[in-house]
Structure 1
Amino acid sequence: MKSLRLRITFVFSIIVLLSGTFLSYRVYTSSVNLISLSLGEQAKSIAESALRQIEIEKYQEITPEKGETEYYKELRQKLNQIREANNLKYLYTMQERRKDNGSEYIFIVDGMPLETKEGDFSPIGTVEENVDSMQLAAFSEGVTKIGALTEDDPYGALVSAYVPIKNASGAQIGIIGADFDASSVYDLMKENKRNTILMIAVILLISVIITYIFSRMIVSPVLRLTREVQKVQEGELRQWDGVVRKDEIGRLSEAFRKMVAVLREMILEVQSSVQDLRQSARVHAESTEASNVMSQRITAYLGQAAEAAENQVKCSEETVRTIGEVETEIQRVAASLSIAADAANEVTVAARNGNEFVQQAVHQMSSIQASGLEMAKDIQHLADQSSRVSQITLAIREISAQTHLLSLNAAIEAARAGEHGQGFAVVADQIRKLAAQSEESAVRISELIESILGSTDRVVRGVEAETKEIDLGRAIVEKAGGAFAQIVNEVQKVAGQVQEVSAVSQQIAAGAEQVLASADETDRLTRLTSEQFQGISKASEEQLAALQQISSSMEQLNRMSERLEHLISKFSL
């Protein structure tokens, strides 16, 4: 039985049936015992009263062998009177007779009328075939016994009492039995039994009906609650008014209604949260995608900046090498000017010594002319190298401007990247400072180069003037020795110019050393910038990988939110 209503009806019916049966059985047995005890006590009293009517000595003379004596007939009449007076069915005496194979119990005096036909009473010596247990107990124990209400075919319904008959010495010589006719009582008990069974049936039917109604009162709201639970199981969470009762079922229904309401609010909140989560995930994914694109652009810019830094390193190395060559050339010019100064001094001494050294002076002038030509070549070469240095300085300034532009772009991209670009912004600021320092060094180099170029130009003009003067002096020396004084004067001028050129050359050499130091510093800073750009590029690649991982996580989060929305969509709110 899967129905709770049928189970309740069945269980309560069984309980009522068992209770009614047990109660009826107890009432019936109690009634039987009460009747048996009441009638048995009356039979006992009658038997004891009849026993007092028996003369024991005469009674002992009554035997089956002697037959019906006068006292037998007298005693039979007395017992019949007592039987009829007390409405007994049977009143009799019995005796135990020993035999080889046991004992038998025979009737002595049957208290029936003398005119009773044979067959309607038990003559003297008749053996009792149906000896009940109370009779046997009375014979064996020698005490009064009261039997239960019995019914059998020969005698009908009876309640018996058995009183021992004892002689003067106290020996038991038999028993006297008194049987009440309990037919009417027995019929009444049967009637009561039938009435009891009918009453139990009616009570059972009424109990089944009441139980069914009561179970329906219990089960109906439970069934309604079960249907609502099934609806909740199917995902329907609509508002439910519940079962209006004040008992446990009503409290259960109210608790279930509140649970559904709380669950509905939770599902609505989860649904709203899932939508917000999905929107946030979408926005985050878009931001991550934008950051990914920006990181790619930053990585590309950093690659270009790293490449430009490498080119700048190469240019710096070329600048250092060129400045080294300029320094060498300037040292050579200084050495040549020193030689020219020495030669001018010697010419002056030779001019002062006299005309005899004119030929030697002519020869010396030739040497001076050759030296002047070579010095002119060297100075021209120095001018060319200075021009190249100017070009290199211009390239350095262009690289510095490009680096400054790249650092500005990097700072802008770092500001766009937000928190992730703070470290990159610091590096971009350092790069900008390095670019500013490079540009400042390039400006200083340019100023030195312009100074060198100015000095070189003056030297060139002086050398050209010196060459002209040497040519004129040589012509004058060849034409006339008398112009020696003029030559001496000119040589003195040349010596002064050479000394000035030597001083300028020394200044140029010192400037070249400073330019070389600046170029070394620029090279070091350029290398440091290149290393920083490489580190930034690597960090940007790592940041790009992290952003890609975040993008993958956002996609997974989006899938999770979609799955959660699919689960929530099963509920009807």
Structure 2
Amino acid sequence: MKFKTQLSIGVGFFTTIVLIATALIISDYFIKKEIVSISERLKTIAEIVAISIDGDAHSRLSENGNYEDGDYRSIKNVLNKYLEITKSENVYDIYTMARSNNKHTLQFIVDVDTGSTASEFREDYDTSDFPLMEAAFNQPKAEYQLLEDKFGTWLSAYAPIYNAAGKYVGIVGVDASAESVHHVQNTIISHITVITFLALIITVPLSWFISGFISKRLQQLTEFAEQIKDGHYAHDEAAIVKIEVLASQRKDEIGFLALTMSHMAEKVAEREAHLKEKIKSLHIEIDEQEKKKQVDELEDSELFQTLLNRSRNPPSAAE
């Protein structure tokens, strides 16, 4: 497998992991943000509904009234009106509650829900697992996560109901069903998924381009290494020129490597030239020694000695 292909696969795999991780982080962020936004809207609705309720009528109803009283019908009409108005805000149910004589227990007073999840008039509700319901008698509160009770799974918000004297006499609860929250979550996830998929499609040619860009530079370094291996160090060589341009253009690790290899080539060329000069001098010295040896051998030969003696003692005319 070519280096370019390996690099492309590596870059693509790394980019895919990063994109998926980023998508998960982003989707989690936006889901939490949207849940907080829904909770805050529910709290605002609860505050508006609480202001619209006659606190004195609610106090009478919770203490001595029944579901056939005019106070009950009046409060229920208010709740029904706001339920119709806020259906676009994913509101499923609106109800009121009052304190009971038991600790961590509230009582349902009016509930507009008429389905299987509807509460009964003055039905007790254990708030041990829902401390914000108790705290809502002092100021508006909102849950920022889905909570499950015997009626189902909900995202809820609460606001206090005050009487004419400014004393709290109950709370308004506003619920959004888990299905509506999950719908919002799924919408966000689907949008993030589409964006991630499109990004992955772009990643394929981008990875190939990046790997080609890097491998091209490495190929230049490889060609330069081949030039050095073959003993070509002259700076008019095409590969040498390319490597010097690469070293001057890039300021990263590849550029540094190109610069280092260029300097290495210069040093190798200098050392080779110096070595050649030494070898040439050595050859000359060896030649001189060989010549001297041959002369010595010639001088020591019997023929040379005879000729030398004759030259020194020429024969007389009589001889």
- Shorter-chain TM band: 0.5 to 0.7
1:183 to partner: Cα distance: 4.8
> Is the 8 Å Cα contact of residues 13 and 208 (structure 1) preserved in structure 2?
no
The alignment's TM-score, normalised by the length of structure 2, stands at 0.67
For the aligned residues, what is the CA RMSD? Answer: 4.4
Q: CA, structure 1 residues 127+208, in 2 after alignment: closer, same or farther (shift >3 Å)?
A: farther
Determine whether 1:203 maps to 2:199.
yes
Give the equivalent residue in structure 2 for 1:276: 281
Determine whether 1:50 maps to 2:46.
no
Secondary structure of 2:104 counterpart: strand
Give the equivalent residue in structure 2 for 1:91: 94
The alignment's TM-score, normalised by the length of structure 1, stands at 0.41
> Is the 8 Å Cα contact of residues 46 and 174 (structure 2) preserved in structure 1?
yes
Determine whether 1:263 maps to 2:258.
no
Secondary structure of 1:165 counterpart: strand
Give the equivalent residue in structure 2 for 1:193: 189
> Is the 8 Å Cα contact of residues 147 and 155 (structure 2) preserved in structure 1?
no
- Which runs of structure 2 are paired with 1:555-570 in the superposition (5 Å)? none
> Is the 8 Å Cα contact of residues 237 and 260 (structure 1) preserved in structure 2?
no
Map Cα deviations across residues 332-361 of structure 1 (whole Å, 9 max, x no partner): xxxxxxxxxxxxxxxxxxxxxxxxxxxxxx
Structure having the higher strand fraction is: 2
Map Cα deviations across residues 53-85 of structure 1 (whole Å, 9 max, x no partner): 333233223349864240223322331122123
Q: CA, structure 1 residues 4+138, in 2 after alignment: closer, same or farther (shift >3 Å)?
A: farther
Distance across 2 between alignment mates of 1:263 and 1:73: 101
> Is the 8 Å Cα contact of residues 51 and 161 (structure 2) preserved in structure 1?
no
1:144 to partner: Cα distance: 0.5
1:103 to partner: Cα distance: 1.6
Give the equivalent residue in structure 1 for 2:112: 111
Give the equivalent residue in structure 2 for 1:463: none
- Which runs of structure 2 are paired with 1:380-399 in the superposition (5 Å)? none
> Is the 8 Å Cα contact of residues 99 and 105 (structure 2) preserved in structure 1?
yes
Give the equivalent residue in structure 2 for 1:547: none
Give the equivalent residue in structure 2 for 1:160: 156
Q: CA, structure 1 residues 6+195, in 2 after alignment: closer, same or farther (shift >3 Å)?
A: farther
Q: 134, 139, 143: which is aligned to 1:139?
A: 134
In structure 2, what residue type is equivalent to 1:48?
Answer: E
1:194 to partner: Cα distance: 2.0
Distance across 2 between alignment mates of 1:203 and 1:131: 47
Map Cα deviations across residues 515-536 of structure 1 (whole Å, 9 max, x no partner): xxxxxxxxxxxxxxxxxxxxxx
Q: CA, structure 1 residues 132+168, in 2 after alignment: closer, same or farther (shift >3 Å)?
A: farther
Higher-Rg member (1/2): 1
Give the equivalent residue in structure 2 for 1:82: 82
Determine whether 1:124 maps to 2:121.
yes
1:222 to partner: Cα distance: 0.9
In structure 2, what residue type is equivalent to 1:206?
Answer: I
Task: Show structure 2 runs of 5+ residues with no match.
Answer: 301-319
Distance across 2 between alignment mates of 1:48 and 1:107: 18
> Is the 8 Å Cα contact of residues 11 and 207 (structure 2) preserved in structure 1?
no
- Which runs of structure 2 are paired with 1:364-383 in the superposition (5 Å)? none
In structure 2, what residue type is equivalent to 1:241?
Answer: A
> Is the 8 Å Cα contact of residues 139 and 174 (structure 1) preserved in structure 2?
no
Map Cα deviations across residues 259-299 of structure 1 (whole Å, 9 max, x no partner): 546634642552343033133134146548968999x9xxx
> Is the 8 Å Cα contact of residues 107 and 125 (structure 2) preserved in structure 1?
yes
Give the equivalent residue in structure 2 for 1:236: 230
> Is the 8 Å Cα contact of residues 167 and 173 (structure 1) preserved in structure 2?
yes
Distance across 1 between alignment mates of 2:97 and 2:209: 64
Distance across 1 between alignment mates of 2:202 and 2:127: 46
In structure 1, what residue type is equivalent to 2:96?
Answer: T
1:33 to partner: Cα distance: 2.1
Give the equivalent residue in structure 2 for 1:492: none
Distance across 1 between alignment mates of 2:3 and 2:124: 65
Distance across 2 between alignment mates of 1:46 and 1:161: 9
Task: Show structure 1 runs of 5+ residues with no match.
Answer: 297-573
Map Cα deviations across residues 367-401 of structure 1 (whole Å, 9 max, x no partner): xxxxxxxxxxxxxxxxxxxxxxxxxxxxxxxxxxx
> Is the 8 Å Cα contact of residues 94 and 175 (structure 1) preserved in structure 2?
yes
> Is the 8 Å Cα contact of residues 139 and 159 (structure 2) preserved in structure 1?
yes
In structure 2, what residue type is equivalent to 1:236?
Answer: D
1:124 to partner: Cα distance: 1.8
Distance across 2 between alignment mates of 1:266 and 1:64: 107
> Is the 8 Å Cα contact of residues 104 and 128 (structure 2) preserved in structure 1?
no
Secondary structure of 1:125 counterpart: coil
Give the equivalent residue in structure 2 for 1:477: none
Secondary structure of 1:61 counterpart: helix
Distance across 1 between alignment mates of 2:208 and 2:165: 73
1:218 to partner: Cα distance: 0.9
In structure 2, what residue type is equivalent to 1:33?
Answer: K
Structure having the higher helix fraction is: 1
Q: CA, structure 1 residues 67+6, in 2 after alignment: closer, same or farther (shift >3 Å)?
A: farther
Q: CA, structure 1 residues 201+128, in 2 after alignment: closer, same or farther (shift >3 Å)?
A: farther
> Is the 8 Å Cα contact of residues 40 and 146 (structure 1) preserved in structure 2?
yes
Distance across 2 between alignment mates of 1:278 and 1:194: 82
Secondary structure of 1:191 counterpart: helix
Q: CA, structure 1 residues 255+120, in 2 after alignment: closer, same or farther (shift >3 Å)?
A: closer
> Is the 8 Å Cα contact of residues 139 and 160 (structure 2) preserved in structure 1?
yes
Distance across 2 between alignment mates of 1:271 and 1:62: 114
Distance across 2 between alignment mates of 1:216 and 1:262: 31
In structure 1, what residue type is equivalent to 2:135?
Answer: S
Distance across 1 between alignment mates of 2:189 and 2:225: 51
In structure 2, what residue type is equivalent to 1:207?
Answer: T
